[in-house]
């Protein structure tokens, strides 16, 4: 009789082949046709391994989103993945070297998709089914540009589930799962002043650049490391000529928060900014792009199950808080226990050295399978 964890290690080459198949179907977010073709390849893998067809959520601009359902058990698990990548077609070669696989999206996050697919296949083949589980795979096409067309679908689907597992990459170095993530606020601040000759009519002007400078100091001053709130003014722009008092200026605002309350407080602080220069006008546009993914008691419990699952396989699993956001922020924002980072160990998301460590593929697939078993047994 095959032991479940051995199953994945004996299937390592097949997992790699599937990952290669999915990676070769390049899927840059803005290219609907390519993303849809990748979706078809993905649907082919689900059909081949699990015998299921997708429910297709047609999109006009982005690639279509796909949902697969397996099992009829009581415990409803959402496995949340995206199959778009940040890479233009042909930009990154696919190379295997020294136990690592390099290529567009191998780490973010096509390996995570393959692992989850095989985790379920392993349960079906070795354990004879998915007793106690109803698993929904939601595969979206636009995570890399902020999930504009998929957010509602993600939230609707998550509301019908008990837990959400996101198979994005784990933390580099430790391989830790991500049990909390910052919320992200994104704004643009525009200042309008009044232009005049910097020599002869200086007093008649209202400098938008000076006003912007005041606002930047104020905004940057909202950073408070002790509670994990940061503000970054990443881009500034303003003025036209050396000798003209500038009538317009703008900057971008990127803030990160750890809790929902702090997110609300920061939204209010940014949206209620007032000009300090007489006659200047300011306008802010934007909002909380992703709510924070908070580590609740239910999240801690879910992590406990994952840690025990890892011990059963033979390794220690850690958890971590992460600055960046993912689609897990949306589901956690609804209060549904969500953990991210079940993907493959590797490095270089959105970077030229994007890769995964091939030996980790079967190990992390086993982790998902053993966690699913524990969830079913609860």
Nearer to Zn ion, 113 or 270 (CB): 113
Does 109 interact with Zn ion (rule: CB under 5 A)? yes
Query: Using CA atoms, how far apart are residues 223 and 334, in angstroms rounded to an integer?
Result: 26
What is the footprint of Zn ion within residues 244-303 (CB under 5 A)?
Answer: none
Does 81 interact with Zn ion (rule: CB under 5 A)? no
Nearer to Zn ion, 108 or 354 (CB): 108
Extended beta strands in the chain, E state: 55-57, 65-70, 75-82, 95-97, 100-102, 133-140, 163-166, 177-181, 183-192, 196-197, 230-232, 236-238, 244-245, 248-257, 281-290, 319-322, 338-340, 346-347, 355-357
Phi-psi domain of 67 (left: phi exceeds 0; alpha: psi -120 through 50; beta: other): beta
185-195 b/e (C-beta count within 10 Å ≥ 16 → b): bbbebbbbbbb
For every residue of 71-133, DSSP letters joined together read ---SEEEEEEEE--BSPPTTSS--EEETTEEE-TTIIIIIHHHHHHHHHHHHHHHHHSS-TTE
Considering only the stretches 106-114, 208-216, 233-241, 259-267, report the one whose residues sit in contact with Zn ion under the rule CB under 5 A.
106-114
State the minimum distance, in angstroms, from the CB of residue 121 to Zn ion.
Answer: 22
Extended beta strands in 142-247, E state: 163-166, 177-181, 183-192, 196-197, 230-232, 236-238, 244-245
Collapsed DSSP state (helix, strand, coil) of residue 350: coil
Compute how many residues bind Zn ion; rule: CB under 5 A. 3
Could you tell me if 228 and 263 are in contact, meaning their C-beta atoms sit under 8 angstroms apart?
Answer: no
Does 108 interact with Zn ion (rule: CB under 5 A)? yes
Nearer to Zn ion, 108 or 262 (CB): 108
State the minimum distance, in angstroms, from the CB of residue 16 to Zn ion.
Answer: 20
State the minimum distance, in angstroms, from the CB of residue 91 to Zn ion.
Answer: 17
Could you tell me if 93 and 103 are in contact, meaning their C-beta atoms sit under 8 angstroms apart?
Answer: yes
Nearer to Zn ion, 7 or 102 (CB): 102
State the minimum distance, in angstroms, from the CB of residue 23 to Zn ion.
Answer: 14
Cα dihedral 335/341/342/346 (nearest 10): 170
State the minimum distance, in angstroms, from the CB of residue 5 to Zn ion.
Answer: 26
Considering only the stretches 3-11, 103-111, 116-124, 197-205, report the one whose residues sit in contact with Zn ion under the rule CB under 5 A.
103-111
State the minimum distance, in angstroms, from the CB of residue 230 to Zn ion.
Answer: 21
Considering only the stretches 69-77, 104-112, 230-238, 317-325, report the one whose residues sit in contact with Zn ion under the rule CB under 5 A.
104-112
Does 354 interact with Zn ion (rule: CB under 5 A)? no
State the minimum distance, in angstroms, from the CB of residue 319 to Zn ion.
Answer: 19
Query: Using CA atoms, how far apart are residues 356 and 339, in angstroms rounded to an integer?
Result: 20
Nearer to Zn ion, 85 or 196 (CB): 85
Nearer to Zn ion, 18 or 108 (CB): 108
Nearer to Zn ion, 194 or 321 (CB): 321
State the minimum distance, in angstroms, from the CB of residue 7 to Zn ion.
Answer: 27
Does 106 interact with Zn ion (rule: CB under 5 A)? no
State the minimum distance, in angstroms, from the CB of residue 349 to Zn ion.
Answer: 7
Nearer to Zn ion, 26 or 168 (CB): 168
Residue nearest to Zn ion (CB): 108
Pairing state of beta strands 338-340 and 183-192? unpaired
State the minimum distance, in angstroms, from the CB of residue 4 to Zn ion.
Answer: 27
Nearer to Zn ion, 109 or 158 (CB): 109
What is the footprint of Zn ion within residues 116-175 (CB under 5 A)?
Answer: 168
Q: Nearest CA to 279 among 340, 211, 186?
A: 211
Residues that bind Zn ion (CB under 5 A): 108-109, 168
């Amino acid at each position: 009789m095959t032991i479940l964890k051995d199953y994945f290690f004996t299937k390592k080459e097949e997992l790699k082949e599937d990952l290669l198949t999915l990676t070769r179907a390049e899927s840059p977010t803005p290219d609907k046709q390519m993303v849809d073709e990748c979706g078809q390849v993905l649907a082919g893998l689900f059909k081949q391994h699990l015998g299921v067809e997708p429910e297709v959520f047609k999109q006009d601009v982005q690639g279509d989103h796909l949902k697969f359902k397996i099992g009829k058990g009581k415990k409803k698990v959402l496995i949340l993945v995206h199959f778009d990548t940040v890479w233009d077609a042909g930009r990154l070669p696919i190379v295997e070297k020294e136990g690592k696989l390099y290529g567009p999206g191998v780490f973010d996050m096509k390996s995570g998709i393959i692992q989850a697919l095989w985790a379920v296949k392993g349960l079906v083949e070795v354990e004879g089914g998915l007793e106690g589980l109803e698993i929904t795979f939601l595969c979206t096409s636009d995570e890399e540009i902020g999930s504009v067309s998929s957010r509602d679908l993600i939230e609707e689907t998550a509301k019908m589930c008990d837990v959400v597992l996101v198979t994005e990459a784990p933390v580099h170095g430790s391989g830790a799962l991500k049990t909390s993530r910052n919320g992200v606020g994104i704004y643009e601040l525009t200042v309008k002043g009044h232009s005049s000759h910097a020599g002869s009519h200086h007093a008649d002007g209202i400098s938008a650049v000076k006003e912007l400078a005041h606002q930047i100091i104020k905004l940057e001053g909202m950073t408070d490391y002790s509670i994990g709130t940061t503000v970054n003014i990443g881009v500034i722009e303003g003025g036209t000529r050396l000798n003209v008092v500038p009538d317009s200026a703008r900057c971008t605002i990127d803030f990160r928060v750890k809790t929902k309350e702090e997110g609300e407080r920061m939204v209010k602080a940014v949206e209620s900014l007032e000009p300090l220069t007489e006659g200047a006008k300011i306008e802010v546009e934007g909002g909380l792009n992703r709510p924070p993914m908070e580590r609740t008691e239910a999240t801690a419990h879910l992590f406990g199950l994952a840690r025990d699952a890892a011990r059963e396989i033979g390794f220690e699993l850690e958890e971590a808080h992460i600055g960046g956001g993912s689609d897990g922020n949306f589901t956690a924002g609804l209060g549904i226990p969500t953990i991210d980072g079940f993907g493959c160990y590797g490095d270089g998301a959105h970077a030229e050295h994007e890769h995964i460590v091939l030996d980790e593929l079967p190990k992390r697939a086993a982790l998902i399978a053993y966690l699913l078993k524990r969830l079913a047994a609860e």
